[in-house]
Structures are given as C-alpha cells and as structure tokens.
C-alpha cells in the first residue's frame, strides 16, 4: 500500500519523507489555508521534496475554468496530479486532462456509482472519503470494498485512494480491503507505530537494563 500524506506543511512532509513513509502528497484548499502559503509556491516546494504524485486542487466550478486551472497547476512539476471534484464538470475536466497525459485525482467521492464514472472518465486516482461517511452513520469502509469489487470486476486502472482517514483502524481496514493508497494527516501516519504493549515492554526492558548498571556508550 502507498502512503500519501495529507498536508501542505513542508516540515511534516520532510520528516516522513526522510523515513521513506511518503509515496505522495495530497493537498486541498483547506490545507493550503492552514499552511498560510501561496498555493503555487508551496505546491512547487512539495513537488521538489517528494518523488511521487502531489495532488493540487482546482477551485473553479465549471469545466472550462477547471481545465484552465488544471493545466496551470500541471505546469508546476511533472509529478502534479490535478485534483477535481466529483461533479459532472469535474468528470469533464478529468476526461480532458487525463487525455492530455496528466494525472487526475477525482475527489469527494461518496458512492460506488461516482467511482465508476470517475474510472470511465480516466481518473488516475479516486478519493472516497471514509471519515465523512462515518460522520453520518454510514460505514466508509463499505464504500472502499464496493469500489474495489467493481474496479476488479472490470479491470479499471484507477487507483483507490482512501481519504478522510482519521484513525489507525481506517488504515488497517483500507489495507485489508485492498485500497491502493491511503492519504492521512502526519499524526495518523505516525500513530501507526503506537501500541500500549510496545510501550509496556520497553518500560520493562529499560527497568531491567538499569539494574545491570551497564552502558553501551
């Protein structure tokens, strides 16, 4: 499974990237706002930092403007994935940009039918939002499973990019079902290393080591 980090914070990306934990980056208007940076500037910096796809989102709502914005974003670097919403205009944009050879990430997916349309429009990635479905008492993992089944049934190349991930269990279940990619905030990715029994075992080892009175350095 590929790990994308869902942030526009350069330091957080760099820390995970140094550990080999970053296969790509996703951003959106909310994350750009949080970073306080210019979208073109910070996106270019991220693209220079990581080798994998970097999703940069259009903000127009009609296809013609989305296409124009997508082309401008794609000029930033070769590893840009233009991010478009799963609307009819977004699908039109996906078809045009993917036809021009650009990676396209279709976002805000909440149904298997939407995912099917995105794949037929040539999407590189489909981003189903797990956490937001959980918020309205639907199981976001059911959507990941449905998309996996449909894509496998028909041999679609579109990669399932599980998004809106809020817990480590979301990551585990996405991996079990067979999502190609997860994108998660840095804190969630780092939390994958945590387990209370690891902490308990380490405390016991350190207590016993102290009793030996020895030093390695």
Q: pLDDT, tens digit, for every residue of 83-142?
A: 999 999 999 999 999 999 999 999 999 999 999 999 999 999 999 999 999 999 999 999
- Domain range for 163: 2-212
Residue 97: closest CA among 126, 127, 74: 74
pLDDT (0 to 100) of residue 78 = 97
* Domain assignment present for 217: no
| Structure confidence at residue 214 as a pLDDT band (50, 70, 90) | very high
Hunting for tokens 């918020």 — which residue is that? 135
| Structure confidence at residue 201 as a pLDDT band (50, 70, 90) | very high
Express as a percent the part of the chain with pLDDT over 70. Answer: 100
Cβ neighbours, 10 Å, residue 80: 22
* Domain assignment present for 39: yes
DSSP letter, residue 158: P
Query: How many structural domains are present in the chain?
Result: 1
pLDDT (0 to 100) of residue 183 = 98
pLDDT (0 to 100) of residue 189 = 97
Annotated catalytic sites, by residue? 83
Quote the pTM value.
0.94
Q: How far is CA 173 from CA 18, 28, 36, 181, 206, in A?
A: 26, 24, 33, 12, 33
Average pLDDT, the chain: 97
CATH number for the domain spanning 34: value is 3.20.20.70
Coil, strand or helix at 93? helix
* Domain assignment present for 40: yes
* Domain assignment present for 143: yes
* Domain assignment present for 60: yes
- Using CB atoms within 10 A of its CB, is residue 91 exposed (0-12), middle (13-18) or buried (19+)? buried
* Domain assignment present for 126: yes
* Domain assignment present for 66: yes
DSSP strand pairing (181-184 vs 24-26): unpaired
| Beta strand residue intervals within the chain, DSSP E | 2-6, 24-26, 54-57, 80-85, 103-109, 125-128, 159-162, 181-184
| Structure confidence at residue 66 as a pLDDT band (50, 70, 90) | very high
């Amino acid at each position: 499974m590929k790990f994308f980090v869902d942030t526009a914070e350069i330091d957080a990306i760099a820390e995970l990237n140094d550990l080999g934990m970053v296969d790509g980056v996703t951003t959106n208007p909310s994350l750009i706002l949080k970073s306080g940076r210019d979208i073109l500037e910070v996106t270019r910096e991220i693209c220079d930092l990581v080798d994998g796809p970097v999703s940069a989102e259009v903000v127009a709502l009609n296809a013609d403007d989305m296409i124009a914005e997508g082309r401008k974003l794609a000029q930033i670097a070769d590893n840009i994935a233009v991010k478009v919403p799963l609307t009819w205009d977004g699908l039109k944009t996906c078809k045009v940009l993917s036809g021009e050879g650009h990676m396209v990430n279709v976002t805000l997916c909440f149904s298997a039918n939407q995912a099917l349309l995105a794949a037929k429009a040539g999407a590189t990635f489909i981003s189903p939002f797990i956490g937001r479905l959980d918020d309205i008492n639907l199981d976001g993992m059911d959507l990941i499973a449905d998309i996996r089944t449909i894509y496998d049934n028909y041999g679609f190349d579109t990669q399932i990019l599980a998004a809106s991930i809020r817990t480590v269990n979301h990551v585990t279940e996405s991996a079990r079902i067979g999502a190609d990619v997860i994108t998660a905030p840095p804190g969630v990715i780092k939390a994958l290393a945590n387990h209370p029994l690891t902490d308990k075992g380490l405390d016991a080892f350190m207590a016993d080591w102290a009793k030996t009175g020895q030093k390695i350095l």
